[in-house]
Structure 1
Amino acid sequence: MAGGWNDDADVIVVGAGPAGSAAAFWCASAGLTVLLLEKASFPRDKVCGDGLTPRAVKELVSMGVPLREGDGWIRNQGLRVIGGGHRLELPWPELSSYPSYGLARSRMSLDHALADHARAAGAKLLERTQVTGPLVDERTGRVVGVTARPVDDAGRRAGDAVEYRAPVVIAADGVSARLGLSLGLEKRMDRPMGVAVRTYFRTPRHDDAWMESHLELWDGAPGRSNLMPGYGWIFALGDGTANVGLGSVSSTPNATKVDYKDLFARWMANAPAEWGFTPENQVGPVQGAALPMGFNRTPLYGRGLMLVGDSGGMVSPFNGEGIAYALQAGRVAADAVVQARSRTTADGRERALATYARTMREDLGGFYTLGRYFVRIIEHPQVMRLCTRYGLPRPLVMRFTLKLLSDCYEPHGGDMVDRVIAGLTRVVPAA
């Protein structure tokens, strides 16, 4: 990849969340010089469920991230699904492509650990560095770097603006996607949008071996109250606390019009006393975040800029999981950058960089299209109620549910459920 004599790095990565840190790690591991820019300072928090499916675990294992319990991880053995009068414990599937366990760890420490892992691989991490926009070559229209400014811990300007240059920029700047927006990449209104709120509670359930998902939320006793439009979760963190939250999804950005903090308060008001989800046990405020889904901002690559993770709308419509796909996108983007580095012509480098968007679309496009169909079905609470009441007890439906909610199916081979899901992802239009 032909850079200028005044370039600061082979690649600039904007944002040190899972997507950005993964991209920085893989690029640095391949010998590239990497500048990783993060507007906050670690440790810093992010609104998230803090649960990682086996798909995410596979990416962490590939990166060589230490996953010992002493490092703050807690393993879980599957999903506990509650809804429609049913309570099912579904172990993670035994597959050749993925491990048979999930993990949980707060984003406060997870993101810090991943950024440190990228730094240990050779990436240069600059914290409290807020990227304000792309540098664009006036002659070619290509992104050749970014403008940035130092900020303090409160986000206030703390110094003069600076320019950083590189032949390619990886935007991992989250749902705000400021770099993409600055180049006119608006979010697609035909893609699902989710919203989630969460907080933490001190609870005796902190070491639960199951990630718990409530497919129905009632604002009072079930059967004598209103069914609320959302789903809830309880993810044990093993440190005396659990991440407790709820989310909802809409086939359009209308999901953001619901008062989810009010829904959360009504759900908690009826939580069993033995859970300990009381105001005095609450740790921190209820916070919310948007969940951009199904490649809601495209193209994923163009003019020297790559969108990874939330900036490219990579949250799964099936379960609201984003970390697994962020890690995957970081790895695939890095591979494209590394391959482009070896090309000897501008056209060759551009073809190599373009493989990123194509690979992501081939791998996830059909899956996300199925997710859009799924959202159209379950976004109506009464339809969701019928599905949970009459569908969950059926073993075949349960197996489909587990593989879709766990993000894990064998793309080649596997059992009948794997083959059906893989076949459907190939015949539907890619997102």
Structure 2
Amino acid sequence: MAGTVQRQDDADVVVVGAGPAGASAAYWLASAGLDVLVLEKTAFPREKVCGDGLTPRAVRELVAMGVPIRAEDGWIRNKGLRVYGGGHRLEMPWPQLDSFPDFGLARTRRDFDAALADHARAAGAKILERTAVTGPVLHERTGRLVGVTARPVDDAGRKAGDEVTYRAPVVIAADGVSARLALAMGIEKNPRRPMGVAVRTYFATPMHDDEWMESHLELWDGPAGRSNLLPGYGWIFPLGDGTANVGLGSVSSTATATKIDYKDLLARWVANAPEHWQFDVDAPLGPVRGAALPMAFNRKPLYDRGLLLVGDSGGMVSPFNGEGIAYAMQAARRAAEVVVQAHARRTPAARDAVLSTYPKVMADELGGYYSLGRIFVKLIEQPAIMHLCTRYGLPRPALMRLVMKLLADVYEPRGGQASDRLIAALTRIAPAA
């Protein structure tokens, strides 16, 4: 960092991974004038498992970064959620708030991630694609992280060159749910934190430009009400390009693996999807892909010996709704702010003291909310309880508007309506464990 960067250092900061977390961190760091090197194991554009839907919380991060979100750039806006459950259907617009936009967005991760990476490059970040990080480089005396080793790989992930060392006084791990760098540093996940699973595919639909994202709060493995109710939720997100992202997720209050065949469940659920989508269950537009969703800060500490964890590597998916992108981008912005402030300090001890504030910054912003989410998961992982909540809750619009704000984490943090003040109070009271 300032005044002490060694001649052999390759950057002020190395960012591992160029997904939403890594690209956002790189953008903010480069915008502040730091020399940023991003190492990404794949090449853009590439597929990622996701619902492709962005809540107003994620949109706020995009707007703050100045990312173009025009329709001609491939983005489709939505005005809220169409919710099904307990035999009811309810359309709920995103709330009108000062702190958040009143619209959501959708775009495939293939295009979304490439757009964010290009935005980071335009800000001055250097991104090396097809470069797989193989491990940390530690100072032989202090044990502090001083860089990483990496090697070039081909499109299949096979070794395509010799291992190289990239040095920097700070490393941001944005390498996703695998969290290989954190694991190599001895940072293990907490098996008592919630873990989700999501699967998705794409279907052609005449409703591709629908202005609502659709959420199904119950998963039936056949006709609703005449088959088995399973733990989880489904979604249909129109993408404006003739297709919709169709998927389902399930969550457990611990990291215990489930025995559900998610691909088979998705096929049965799609066969009973609302008729207006006109899905041809026998003609998906791609394979069914799945991914784990690490939730509620399931990997700590978020800072250790020069390494900051951002996004899925730190288990930052929301237990309430399975959203990860908004929190990955939010954490990336906060991590960058901390790193920039540390960069200005004159001594190693002073710099490390600033870097060490990152876990508290994130705990203050999300710790209480995630603690509430852990309680929520323990309730909804019981299908019978979820059925009762949807059956008696959905017919009450005022209650559902409060629930929507809570589940989407879109509320006024200070002031606002009574529902905003209630949610803010609950997140403050809940321990940031």
TM-score by length of 2: 0.98
Partner of 2:198: 196
CA distance in 2, matches of 1:272, 1:81: 12
Partner of 1:168: 170
| Paired residues of 2:270 and 2:281 also in contact (CA < 8 A) | no
> Is 2:359 aligned against 1:354?
no
Secondary structure of the residue aligned to 2:34 is coil
Secondary structure of the residue aligned to 1:388 is helix
Secondary structure of the residue aligned to 2:141 is coil
Cα distance, 1:396 vs structure 2 = 3.5
Name the stretch that deviates more: 265-274 or 12-21. 265-274
Which amino acid is the alignment partner of residue 409 of structure 1? Y
Deviations, residues 198-243 of structure 1 (Å, cap 9, x unaligned)? 0000111111101100011212222211112211000000000000
CA distance in 2, matches of 1:273, 1:414: 39
Cα distance, 1:125 vs structure 2 = 0.6
Which amino acid is the alignment partner of residue 212 of structure 2? W
Partner of 1:216: 218
| Paired residues of 1:192 and 1:293 also in contact (CA < 8 A) | yes
CA distance in 2, matches of 1:346, 1:162: 26
Partner of 2:209: 207
Cα distance, 1:280 vs structure 2 = 4.7
Residues matched between the structures, number? 431
Partner of 1:284: 286
Partner of 1:24: 26
Name the stretch that deviates more: 390-399 or 176-185. 390-399
Partner of 2:74: 72
> Structure 2 residue aligned with 1:90, among 89, 92, 95?
92
| Paired residues of 2:14 and 2:172 also in contact (CA < 8 A) | yes
Partner of 1:38: 40
Deviations, residues 84-107 of structure 1 (Å, cap 9, x unaligned)? 111110000011110000000000
Which amino acid is the alignment partner of residue 67 of structure 2? V
> Is 2:310 aligned against 1:308?
yes
Deviations, residues 51-85 of structure 1 (Å, cap 9, x unaligned)? 00000000000000000001110000001110011
Cα distance, 1:428 vs structure 2 = 1.4
Partner of 1:121: 123
CA distance in 2, matches of 1:181, 1:408: 33
Secondary structure of the residue aligned to 1:318 is coil
Partner of 1:329: 331
Structure 1 segment 412-427 matched on structure 2, within 5 A: 412-427=414-429
Cα distance, 1:271 vs structure 2 = 2.6
Secondary structure of the residue aligned to 1:249 is strand
TM-score by length of 1: 0.98
CA distance in 2, matches of 1:279, 1:390: 31
CA distance in 2, matches of 1:272, 1:125: 43
Partner of 1:248: 250
CA distance in 2, matches of 1:211, 1:106: 14
Deviations, residues 389-425 of structure 1 (Å, cap 9, x unaligned)? 0112223321221102322111111111111111111
Partner of 1:261: 263
Q: Supply the RMSD in Å over aligned alpha carbons.
A: 1.1
CA distance in 1, matches of 2:286, 2:323: 22
Partner of 2:156: 154
CA distance in 1, matches of 2:415, 2:275: 46
| Paired residues of 1:194 and 1:256 also in contact (CA < 8 A) | no
Residues 82 and 255 of structure 1: is their aligned pair in 2 closer, same or farther, counting only changes over 3 Å?
farther
Secondary structure of the residue aligned to 1:311 is helix
| Paired residues of 1:35 and 1:123 also in contact (CA < 8 A) | yes
Secondary structure of the residue aligned to 2:208 is helix
Cα distance, 1:122 vs structure 2 = 0.3
Which amino acid is the alignment partner of residue 92 of structure 2? L
> Is 2:106 aligned against 1:104?
yes
| Paired residues of 1:228 and 1:263 also in contact (CA < 8 A) | no
Partner of 2:432: 430
> Is 2:319 aligned against 1:317?
yes
Secondary structure of the residue aligned to 2:60 is helix
Partner of 1:138: 140
Residues 23 and 54 of structure 1: is their aligned pair in 2 closer, same or farther, counting only changes over 3 Å?
same
Cα distance, 1:256 vs structure 2 = 4.1
| Paired residues of 2:45 and 2:114 also in contact (CA < 8 A) | yes
Cα distance, 1:355 vs structure 2 = 2.1
Partner of 2:179: 177
Secondary structure of the residue aligned to 1:253 is coil
Mind listing any 5+ residue stretches in structure 1 that lack a counterpart? Answer: none
Cα distance, 1:274 vs structure 2 = 4.2
Which amino acid is the alignment partner of residue 423 of structure 1? A
Secondary structure of the residue aligned to 2:241 is coil
Residues 272 and 398 of structure 1: is their aligned pair in 2 closer, same or farther, counting only changes over 3 Å?
closer
Partner of 2:65: 63
Which amino acid is the alignment partner of residue 239 of structure 2? L
Mind listing any 5+ residue stretches in structure 2 that lack a counterpart? Answer: none
Residues 81 and 273 of structure 1: is their aligned pair in 2 closer, same or farther, counting only changes over 3 Å?
closer
| Paired residues of 2:271 and 2:281 also in contact (CA < 8 A) | no
Secondary structure of the residue aligned to 1:206 is coil
Deviations, residues 323-373 of structure 1 (Å, cap 9, x unaligned)? 000001111111111101100111210121122211111010000000000
| Paired residues of 1:203 and 1:281 also in contact (CA < 8 A) | no
